Structure 1
Amino acid sequence: MTLGLSGLLLAAGLSSQTAQAVEVSGDITIVSDYAFRGISQTDEAPALQGGLTLATESGWYVSVWGSSVDFGGQGTLELDVLFGWSGDIAEDWTADVGIMRYGYPNTEFEGSNFWELYGSVSYKDLTFGLAYSDDYYANSGNYYYVYAGYSLALTDNLALDFHLGHNEYADDSSASYLDYGVTLSTEVLGLGLSLAYVDTDIKDCNLCDSRVIFGVSKAF
């Protein structure tokens, strides 16, 4: 109920900005593996992804994002919807807050769809964030995701991004784990290119071990 109310409030905030100009942006991406918080969602196979965002001048936005997935015959599509606000809160400081629904339209098992509140604060190239769900994926209960990231500009067209996240399952602490990674990204002929190393501290899990992921994207 709390998450649903938050979604209504954010949607109301977005609708109140209809008199303002709305900017439309999006992207299409192909990755060699879709890793979500360190765990492969495609059985370590390639994925096709795409997103579309409508944003107002005041910072309110609504986004739709989708990806192919492979859960061993239990679903082939992820489709997410986000409502939120992002913008400057002080000199060199920005924030991003909102609510997100993770959806798996053709997945049959109970608890595959869930809501998540998210928020992050960035100071220059350093970001700290927190996400929370009161009933996370597969009905796993209260879940927190705390993460930090740092983006290092190597040149005008080459960046190195570092990430560290902690996945906390409050109702089953034995399932909690760390994920981490580093991504090198650039742009060539209008295409975004990325090479990422991702890993977790989960033991004896083929979908959670270290891997290198290559991605190609086109923004519009």
Structure 2
Amino acid sequence: MARFGVLSVAVLLGLQAALLVSGFDPSPLQDFCVAVDEPKSAVFVNGKFCKDPKLVNAEDFLFQGLNIPGNTNNKQGSNVTLINVDRIPGLNTLGISLARLDYAPYGLNPPHTHPRGTEILVVVEGSLLVGFVTSNPDNKLFTKVLYKGDVFVFPIGLIHFQFNVGHGPALAFAGLSSQNPGTITIANAVFGSKPPISLDVLTKAFQVDEKVIEALQMQFKA
């Protein structure tokens, strides 16, 4: 795993950059605020209760297992292992998170947005076609094929994607400028909402026959 050393540094630098540009999580008012679900003897900050600092330990800042590949045996052929405040309580109020992204050959991380965070991604293995689309009215696509060691940034809130264009598996890591950046997968949100969006709305929006919309809704029905 010696080859992983340089790229690990790149990931850490990316995470540091994401932290520096974060303007969406409130600034910390103390050294840390380890998130707990139990409010007993706790303080409420940034949507989470803070653990009594006297009870905080190193495990509150630790996650183990990011070296384990995610399961890509699904329709998209991809897997995102997100390490946010729910996985590391010590991230609370720090405005940063991390993700491991695994791709099977020709696997896709489908078009999606992060409403609360900018993403910086580094490719560790394989090659990825990535891109993002600007907001209306331009809807301009910025796209690039990335190779091992390449880094790409997806601005906050914009639709983006990654597609494995190689013949073998691909691996990337991403830093996000929020402790809980959120994810909205476009197709799931539009065709898999609960309850479903009206057929009249979707047929007019996409200018297609109702049967097309019904077929798409069936694909994303839980």
Query: TM-score when scaled to structure 1?
Result: 0.29
Query: TM-score when scaled to structure 2?
Result: 0.28
Larger Rg computed on CA atoms? 2
Q: Which has the higher strand share?
A: 1
